[in-house]
Each structure stands twice: as structure tokens, then as C-alpha cells.
Amino acid sequence: MTLFDDLGEDVPLRGVPRRVVSLVPSLTEAVATTVPGALAGATDYCTHPSDLDVPRVGGSKYPKLDRVFDLRPDLVLANSEENRPEDVERLRANGFPVWVMAAPATVPHALASLRRLLTQVFEAAEPRWLVEAEELWRETRPVRRRAVVPVWRKPWVILGRDTFGGDVLHRLGVCTVYGEHEDRYPRPKLDELRSWFADGTADLLVLPDEPYEFTAEDGPEAFPDVPYVLVSGRYLTWYGPSLVAAHAELSAVL
């Protein structure tokens, strides 16, 4: 059968996939939770489920494709933002079907894409966690804080427009200062970031622990006297089963 991924590309399959390699931590967790036993390989950064015991194929951005080839998957899972197009093309050129999920701009977009992947590709029943996540994240709270949200430093990289993490925060009542920026991940200078707090435009610094691992000693010192919170990068940026716990956890921290 031939299905079409989020980018409209053909994904030729010989029935329901039984040997899947995931190059995306979020998709790894979603598939492992919903279709136990389907994963044959995952990246080094696929940390959930914590007991996942499959061969590792390197990082998401630079996977070791030879390891993927050796696993002989009947499907590879990728993401349009996390994985390089040249790696996707090389996998397809070697005869491996690849499903590419579009980088979601909102929580509903992510959950709709996951529903299609799990129910159409794997022919799984609609998972309970997905329905629960939809219920939890359906409403958007009134804006009560305006935040700057770095995801990297050296250089500083900030959540901008149409990002999943930005929508997560928005639904919890936290508006991102760069939410209307022309870039999804702008790279402003530190002086510009500090100016938002100096003039009152921003009143909160949100520091996740991935992809860059911000800590109480690494990040806040660049913004003296600015209120900040440390949050789980998984709860902020992963789409999948983690969204259920993320709603309560992030609400409590914020």
C-alpha cells in the first residue's frame, strides 16, 4: 500500500510496519507507547520510554545511516525540522520507506499528525493518551506573562513564530516576545534580549533543559535580576504521550 506523509511524499509499505527506526525522540515515544514492539532502532536522544531497549543509530541531525541500513527497517520515521533532507533522500534511494512528519506549529497540528501516523500507518486504535492530550490542551488561557524563551546559547537562539513550544506556552497563558518574528528561531544579540526586560515588554525568562541544557548556573546569569523559570525541554517541545503530564507540570512551574 502507498500512503502519503505530511509533506505529500509517497510512503510505499508492504503492510503494517513491524521493524521501525525512529530518528525523532517524540515519535519514538509515541510509537513505543502505542505500538509496543514495533521499534527496531532509535537515536541516542530517544530517552523515553526510559526502558526502551533497541539499537541506537546516532543523533537526529546526523544519524549513522549505515547503522539504519543494517537494521533493515520497513519504515523510518523523520521530521522536517529535526532531520536533514539529504539523509531522508539517501534512505529512500536505498529502498527504505520514510515517513516525514511536518514540524508542527501548534499542539492540535501535532496531535492530528500523530493520529494519522498511528491509525493509518500502524492501523492502531486511537490511543487514550492522544484523546486525553487533546482535551487538556484544547483551551487557551488569558495571557498573564510575556516571555523570552532561549533554546540555545553561543549564539543565542530564541523561540519565534509558529513553533510548537511557543504554542504550548501560549495555551498556558505565556506569550512569547518573538512570537511574531519573521523567523521561527531568531538569533538576536544578548543586548537586544536584555532590552525587552529593561523596557517592560518581557517579564519572564523561560529556560528549558534541551536542546541546550540551561541550569540555574548557566543561563540566568546573563540576565541579572530577571525573573526566570527552569522547565523540562521534553514537556515544552515533545509532542506525544508526554503532553499529558506536561500540562500540569508546566502549569505548576509557570
pLDDT at 2: 83
- Residue 199 maps to which CATH number? 3.40.50.1980
Residues 99 and 158 in one domain: no
> Is residue 151 classed as helix, strand or coil in its secondary structure?
strand
For residue 224, pLDDT over 80 is answered with yes
In a domain, 132, yes or no: no
Residues 147 and 236 in one domain: yes
Count: domains in the chain: 2
Q: pLDDT tens digit string along 97-132? A: 999 999 999 999 999 999 999 999 999 999 999 999
Which of 101, 126, 151 terminates a domain? The answer is: 126
Which of 126, 158, 182 terminates a domain? The answer is: 126
Q: In which element (H, E) is residue 68 found?
A: helix 65-71
Residues 31 and 101 in one domain: yes
What is the spatial distance between Cα 223 and Cα 1, in angstroms, rounded to a whole number? 54
Residues belonging to the chain? 254
In a domain, 117, yes or no: yes
In a domain, 133, yes or no: no
Q: pLDDT tens digit string along 198-209? A: 999 999 999 999
Residues 15 and 122 in one domain: yes
> Is residue 199 classed as helix, strand or coil in its secondary structure?
coil
Which of 72, 104, 126 terminates a domain? The answer is: 126
Q: pLDDT tens digit string along 8-37? A: 999 999 999 999 999 999 999 999 999 999
Residues 58 and 87 in one domain: yes
Residues 93 and 175 in one domain: no
What is the spatial distance between Cα 82 and Cα 15, in angstroms, rounded to a whole number? 27
Q: Checking DSSP bridges between strand 20-22 and strand 10-12, what pairing results, if any? A: unpaired
What is the spatial distance between Cα 65 and Cα 248, in angstroms, rounded to a whole number? 38
Residues 71 and 183 in one domain: no
Rounded CA Rg of the chain: 19
Residues 91 and 153 in one domain: no
C-alpha atoms less than 13 angstroms from C-alpha of 5 in its C-beta half-sphere? 20
Q: Are 208 and 214 in contact (CB under 8 A)?
A: yes
Q: pLDDT tens digit string along 160-199? A: 999 999 999 999 999 999 999 999 999 999 999 999 999 9
Average pLDDT over residues 55-59: 97
The whole domain housing 196 covers: 139-253
For residue 210 the three cell numbers come to 534541551
